[in-house]
């Protein structure tokens, strides 16, 4: 079943407007954000007015109703600017909205989707101090209490935790590890619920203006309808389905940021002179520029393919993982070459190349590390091969 998405003409006008907004408003604001480590409230309000928090939410809930292809193109366009702008909206859209659409009850959708589309900020709580992709090691527990639940545990490295109004929290509803991760359920937790607290923002290598912190839950009492989908044991499955969208979003972000870095290197190579001519004239500089262009084009092609497949209703788990791995590793190689093109200046904080290098490093880690995704891809390949052998 194909996903129609936003009207094509309206979408093209939106992308053109966003392209201008990124270059005329967001990029000039980057220095201030680096100095203050926060996105100004007026820019957040502008992003809300543009509908950036509700890109894929159904129109009946106040969203734009974009399909996956349109969403990914929007993220790639936005991610030409520093990563904080994508980070603040992406958890709402790629993770929590996706989980609600796939697994929420009608009442949960009616309550939360309009609030998320309007720009209330959400967090997604899977990772813990002792577990990430390993759900069997998850410690956060949800225990039935009367008609509701009591949650206890700590979530680590949670994006947007200091700003969030709601978090989608994964918690064990069974002490035993069950097949297909049925011991994990998902809960919608308003952040002002008694017993919920947020640790101080972690200091990071890069991505100024984007914040991560611990979410600590101590005897947090939740009503029965906080359980996503009103069903136990579906939390991890819902989380993994949401991660497909999240991985496409990270891949699209890495592709957009690689383009920004390469454009910067092109400009610098034409301005910087050595031996009496621009360094852009030197063949080994040209090789680094060309290799970067080739790899960005490959990532753009993968992005177009995986999103088209998702919109046709195909299971894209493996291809979304493959795209995320390639695009993020590609971005790492591009920003490394960009530092090299800048030479000594690339190591100085006053030039952009140094920041691009630090910002891009996390793309290979969050929403599934390259290594975890390689294992996942191989596992699915081997499973399919065995099935074909009968």
Q: Which residues does the annotation mark as catalytic?
A: 367
> What are the residues whose beta carbons fall under 8 Å from the beta carbon of 282, sequence distance 6 or more?
274
Q: Can you say how many angstroms the Cα of residue 31 is from the centroid of all Cα atoms in its chain? A: 23
> What are the residues whose beta carbons fall under 8 Å from the beta carbon of 368, sequence distance 6 or more?
133, 243, 247, 321, 324, 376
Contact 89, 253 (CB under 8 A): no
Q: β-strand 273-274 against 277-278: which pairing, if any?
A: antiparallel
Helix (H) or strand (E) holding 11: helix 8-21
A 10 A CB-CB count for 263 gives 12
Give me 162's structure tokens.
Answer: 């200091």
> What are the residues whose beta carbons fall under 8 Å from the beta carbon of 302, sequence distance 6 or more?
251, 319, 322, 323, 326, 327
Cα–Cα dist 52/322, whole Å: 26
Contact 310, 68 (CB under 8 A): yes
């Amino acid at each position: 079943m194909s996903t129609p998405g936003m009207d094509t003409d309206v979408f093209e006008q939106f992308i053109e407007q966003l392209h201008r907004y990124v270059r005329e408003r967001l990029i000039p604001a980057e220095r201030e954000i680096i100095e203050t480590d926060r996105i100004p409230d007026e820019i957040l309000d502008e992003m809300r007015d543009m509908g950036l928090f509700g890109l894929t939410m159904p129109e009946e809930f106040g969203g734009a109703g974009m399909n996956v292809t349109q969403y990914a193109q929007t993220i790639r366009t936005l991610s030409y600017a520093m990563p904080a702008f994508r980070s603040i909206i992406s958890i709402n859209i790629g993770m929590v909205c996706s989980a609600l659409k796939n697994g929420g009850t009608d009442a949960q959708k009616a309550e939360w989707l309009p609030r998320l589309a309007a720009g209330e900020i959400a967090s997604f709580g899977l990772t813990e101090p002792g577990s990430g992709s390993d759900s069997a090691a998850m410690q956060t527990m949800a225990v039935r209490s009367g008609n509701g639940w009591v949650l206890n545990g700590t979530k680590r490295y949670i994006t947007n935790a200091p700003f969030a109004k709601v978090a989608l929290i994964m918690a064990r509803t069974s002490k035993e590890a069950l097949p297909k991760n049925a011991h994990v359920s998902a809960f919608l937790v308003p952040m002002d619920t008694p017993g919920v607290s947020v640790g101080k923002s972690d200091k990071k290598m890069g991505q100024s203006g984007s914040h991560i912190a611990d979410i600590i839950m101590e005897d947090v009492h939740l009503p029965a309808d906080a359980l996503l989908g009103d069903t136990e044991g579906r939390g991890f499955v819902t989380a993994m389905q949401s991660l497909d969208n999240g991985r496409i979003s990270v891949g699209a972000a890495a592709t957009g940021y690689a383009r920004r870095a390469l454009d910067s290197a092109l400009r610098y190579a034409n301005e910087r002179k050595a031996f009496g001519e621009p360094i852009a004239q030197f063949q080994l500089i040209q090789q680094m520029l060309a290799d970067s262009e080739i790899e960005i084009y490959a990532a753009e092609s993968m992005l177009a393919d995986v999103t088209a497949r998702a919109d046709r209703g195909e299971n894209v788990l493996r291809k979304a993982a493959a795209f995320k791995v390639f695009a993020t590793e590609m971005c790492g190689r591009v920003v490394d070459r960009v530092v090299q093109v800048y030479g000594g200046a690339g190591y100085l904080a006053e030039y952009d190349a140094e920041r691009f290098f630090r910002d891009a490093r996390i793309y290979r880690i969050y929403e599934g590390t390259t290594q975890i995704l390689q294992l996942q891809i191989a596992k699915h390949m081997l499973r399919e091969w065995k099935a074909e052998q009968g």
